[in-house]
Amino acid sequence: MSELKVQLVAADRKVWEGEAASVSARSIDGELGILPGHTPLLGVLVTGDVRIVTGGGSTETVTIDGGFLSVDHDRVVIVADSVDAGSLTTAATA
Amino acid sequence: MGAQQREYRQRSRSVQSTKKITRAMELIAASRVVKARQRVAETTPYANAITRAVSAVASYSDVDHPLTTEREAVRRAGVLIITSDRGLAGAYAGNVLKRSEQLRELLVDDEGKEFVPYLSGRKAEGYYKFRGRSFEQSWSGFSDAPTFEVAKEIATRLTEDFVAGSENGGVDELHIVSTRFVSMVTQEVHVVRLLPLEVVEDDSPATEEDIYPLYEFEPDGGEVLDALLPKYVTSRIWNALLQASASELAARQRAMKSATDNAEELIKTYTRLANQARQAEITQEISEIVGGASALADAK
């Protein structure tokens, strides 16, 4: 199975781009997990953490303050107004 | 030294110090315009992602949204005028204001709408205050380095007023007058209608990726649009602010460059005049001496 191509975009810059095995984020309806081969999706995200499990197996966690996520053809674009890239899971966003 | 000579040297010195200032401003603008252009480029991924998403929703769901619906009777038209905070940028602010006056004429005289200005930048504020005209709201103090927070604030206010509609003191449509950064030598003032929204994508040729797949919406099409459209408005305003700031700096650099050139020209002229005055003085002294000597010789 192929990998996901993930782009994490904030209003003023591209925060992160790379390949990932899975992505999970918090949508309005609850936790949203994306694996390769997911159907095209547009989801609204609420303030919370986005976890990206990279190809190497390590997990990147960033906190976003709401935005949206789109998936098509294994291309995942996460768009947020502001991204707290260095934050840990427990760190709260402003 | 003669009075005339001293006068010319003084003027030349004064122009020299002005030249130092304009040169410094030119260099500052030149270095900051690079940064400003970079910021415009950095926001492109965000703008693209949002535009794509909005287009995708708009083309695959037939939900009507207040922000995309044309009003039948447009009575009040809001206009956001984006200018600079400071002058010394050539015709930059003047061009934007001139264009806004043209738009005002079009809206008020030809279409019979009420003109509701929203101002960004101290130059626009000054223009309206000096003429004693009223405006809805103004924002200033950020024109050469706008922040996303400001864009958000402006977008929130404008969207609120648009949603309220003219019956409730809001507006029925919204235009932006701003300057688009084309290149270092060309910046164009242009007017776009922001609301009701027309989703426009770049003119780049369509690739296979541009054909939108049938998206699933989470939670549903309407709510996704609810969340996306305000962000789209914000991103348009943010982009306009950044382009305006890059344009302002480029215009300032150009204006200061020609000011420096003019100063050099003036210094040259004054130096010539001073030299001429000195030469005239010497010639006069010599003829006085010669005249005096021959008068003495005649007296003998």
pLDDT tens sequence across A25-71: 888 888 888 888 888 888 888 888 888 888 777 888 888 888 888 88
Nearest-angstrom CA–CA distance, B67 and B205: 27
- Would you say residue A93 has pLDDT above 50? no
SS (H, E, C) B184-234: CCCEEEEEEEEECCCCCCCCCCCCHHHCCCCCEEECCHHHHHHHHHHHHHH
What residues of A are in contact with residue B234 (Cβ under 8 Å)? 11, 81
* Per-residue pLDDT, A92: 32
Measured in degrees and rounded to the nearest 5, phi and psi for residue B247 equal -65, -40
CB A28 within 8 A of CB B218: yes
CA B198 to each of CA A68, B170, B172, B229: distance values in angstroms, whole numbers, following the listed order:
20, 20, 15, 11
Decide the pairing of beta strands A83-84 and A59-72: antiparallel
The conformation of residue A83, written as its DSSP 8-state character, comes to E
- pLDDT at res. B274: 94
**Which tokens sit at A54?**
């990279």
> The tokens of B175 are what?
């235009």
Q: What angle do CA B28, B34, B39 make, to 5 degrees?
A: 120
Per-residue pLDDT, averaged over B234-259, amounts to 93
Task: Return the closest-CA partner of residue B67 out of B169, B175, B160, B166.
Answer: B160
Partner-chain contact B231 A40, CB within 8 Å: no
Cβ distance of A42 and B224 shorter than 8 Å: yes
Lowest mean pLDDT: which of B119-128, B156-165, B280-289? B156-165
Residue B71 is assigned to a structural domain of this protein: yes
Q: Environment class of residue A31 by beta-carbon count within 10 Å: exposed (0-12), middle (13-18) or buried (19+)?
A: exposed
- What is the pLDDT at residue B167? 83
Q: Whole-angstrom Cα distance, residue B111 to residue A15?
A: 45
DSSP bridge pairs for B89: B91
Is the pLDDT confidence value at B242 over 60?
Answer: yes
Say which CATH number the domain at B111 has.
3.40.1380.10
Kind and range of the H or E run holding B2: none
Sheet holding B187-195, edge to edge: B137-139, B114-120, B76-82, B173-181, B187-195
Q: For chain B, give the percent of residues with pLDDT over 90.
A: 58
DSSP state of B25: H
* Confidence check: pLDDT of B207 > 70: no
Given A44, A79, A81, which is nearest B224 (Cβ)? Answer: A44
The domain A4-84 is classified under which CATH number: 2.40.30.10, 3.30.70.1450, 2.60.40.10, 2.60.15.10?
Answer: 2.60.15.10
pLDDT tens profile B44-77: 888 888 888 887 777 766 667 788 778 888 889 9
Domain assignment present for residue B2? The answer is no
B164 vs B160: CA distance, rounded Å: 6
- pTM, whole model, 2 decimals? 0.83
Q: Is residue B52 part of a domain?
A: yes
Interface of A with B in 7-26 (CB under 8 A): 7, 9-14
* pLDDT for residue A91: 32
Judge if ipTM > 0.85.
no
Q: With b meaning 16 or more CB within 10 Å and e meaning fewer, what string describes B120-151?
A: bbbbbbbbbeeeeeebbebbbebbbebebebb
Q: How many domains does chain B have?
A: 1
Domain ranges of chain A: 4-84
Question: Which residue, among B207, B217, B171, has the nearest Cα to B58 in the 3D structure?
Answer: B217
Tokens 């009777």 — which residue?
Answer: B73
Chain A contact present for B39, CB below 8 A = yes
Range(s) of the domain holding residue B61: 28-200+209-255
| Local structure of B145: helix, strand or coil | coil
Q: What angle do CA B232, B237, B240 make, to 5 degrees?
A: 125
Task: Determine the residue of chain B that is closest to A80 in CA distance.
Answer: B46
* B205-227: average pLDDT: 71
pLDDT of residue B212: 66
Chain A residues whose CB is inside 8 A of the B52 CB are 70, 77
Is B179 within a domain? yes
Least confident segment among B19-28, B140-149, B190-199:
B190-199
Task: Locate B178 and state its tokens.
Answer: 């701003």
